[in-house]
Structure 1
């Protein structure tokens, strides 16, 4: 399934919780009802290979933009999903305000 197809069909149903974050790595909990669940999944920072949609912010992602993507092998069922680096920065700013 292409990134664009994944975004259109699945983004609204996905539940993502960022458990840990560094500059180049995320550890997330991913729940997609009826499709897959990952309790602790490692994602790495990369350039987007194709246009798509951020599963956290639901904003458009352009090819070449910095994103986080699943890093595991073999490729998981959510391998084409992306989280915008900018969305992670915004989440950090907002969560810092409530601490």
Structure 2
């Protein structure tokens, strides 16, 4: 999806919430991203769960946030949305942002 829409302005960022000190977890996350051929930026969050859970108003992962071009949250998924649902939302936002 990143490759398909990046020229229209789509930016995808993944954030791993794995314990940064747990090398096995970090390696597993890296291997997963390589397997999925992730072509977008990936970060490892180095905060304790209590911190990000409070900031994101979330209890569990996975979480998917979709932001508009103004940096506002358009949609928050408490579990992984289907590819179709996510793509439809992204297409709507890209069309909306193209209008004057």
TM range (shorter): under 0.3
TM-score normalised according to structure 2 size: 0.26
- Bigger helix fraction: 2
TM-score normalised according to structure 1 size: 0.26
Larger Rg: 2
